[in-house]
Amino acid sequence: MTARARPGARRPVIGVSAYEETASWTVWTELAALVPARYLGAIRRAGGVPMVLPGGPGDAPELLDRVDGLVVVGGPDVDPELYGAAPHERTDAPRVERDRFESELLVEAYGRGLPTLAVCRGMQLLNVVRHGTLHQHLPDVLGHSGHSTGGDEYLPHDVDVTPGSLLAKALGSGRVCIASHHHQGIDVVGDGLEVDARADDGTIEGLEDPSRDFYLGVQWHPEVDEHDVSIFVALVKAALPFAAARPIEGAG
């Protein structure tokens, strides 16, 4: 299933936050603006057009002028200084520029009512932007490592989606099996956010702002599910009116 634009209408453009990371290709190993291609593929399969948004200081407003929806992708831990905590020994080294750029995207997109999906670290950053806090190492809190082994594999586990939530509209309420890869989690929920999904151990797996039509965070990785892109379909669908209203560059 994809979100269909009216015949002749433009497909929604979905911005995806990129980040600078050292990467290797052919003979080069150097700093690159990176987005895992799984996100781009999921957006295409859902009927949208992905657009990579490179992180640059102060660029968020102009970048968001050109998109109809936003995905903030997963990645390393949010700097604990942003929520007033000292770093845990297992917390990643801070990525100050990335935290700043993605925070600007989240705040700016919220102000515009732009449909937004924040994935994994993206949801954690969203919570911190709203003055919430994080558990820095879930195994310390839960006594198990069921949300990530720390390696490159995704662990499947079930989550319960709250009936009546924005997330339930996108996925259906009830239990879903998701792909998990996180060692941190939500502690205090940020201002204006509501929990819309939990794992059996109580871990918060989804947050949403009910004052918007589509402003969601998920703790899991929907982009790795090759069979089910329904959350991206819901995002693209929510972006359709923005695509219809966005002025065409150079026109008029």
Contacting positions for Mn ion (CB under 5 A): 147, 180
Can 223 be counted among the known catalytic residues?
yes
The residue among 166, 202, 181, 41 whose CA lies nearest residue 121 is 181
Of the pair 21, 92, the CB lying nearest Mn ion is at 92
Q: Which is nearer to Mn ion, 146 or 241 (CB)?
A: 146
Kindly state the helix (H) or strand (E) to which residue 110 belongs, with its residue range: helix 96-112
Rounded to an integer, what distance in angstroms lies between the CA atom of residue 147 and that of residue 184?
9
For residues 130 and 2, give the distance between their C-alpha atoms in angstroms, rounded to a whole number.
32
Catalytic: which of 120, 135, 147, 181? Answer: 120
Report the DSSP beta bridge partners of residue 194: 208
Question: What three-state secondary structure class fits 201?
Answer: coil
Closer residue to Mn ion in complex, CB, 84/143? 143
Calculate helix-pair angle for 37-45, 230-245, nearest 10 degrees.
70
Q: Is 226 an active-site residue? A: no
Catalytic-residue membership of 221: yes
Q: Is 121 or 147 the residue whose CB approaches Mn ion more closely?
A: 147
From the CB of 122, what's the least distance to Mn ion, in Å?
14
Shortest separation between residue 21's beta carbon and Mn ion, angstroms: 23
130 versus 221: smaller Cβ distance to Mn ion: 221
72, 77, 79, 80 alpha-carbon torsion, rounded to 10°: 120
User: Is the Cα torsion angle 79, 129, 99, 234 positive or negative in sign?
Assistant: positive
**For residue 21, what are the CA distances in angstroms to 39, 81, 98, 104?**
17, 22, 10, 19
Residue nearest to Mn ion (CB): 180
Catalytic residue among 102, 205, 208, 223: 223
Q: Which residues are catalytic?
A: 120, 221, 223
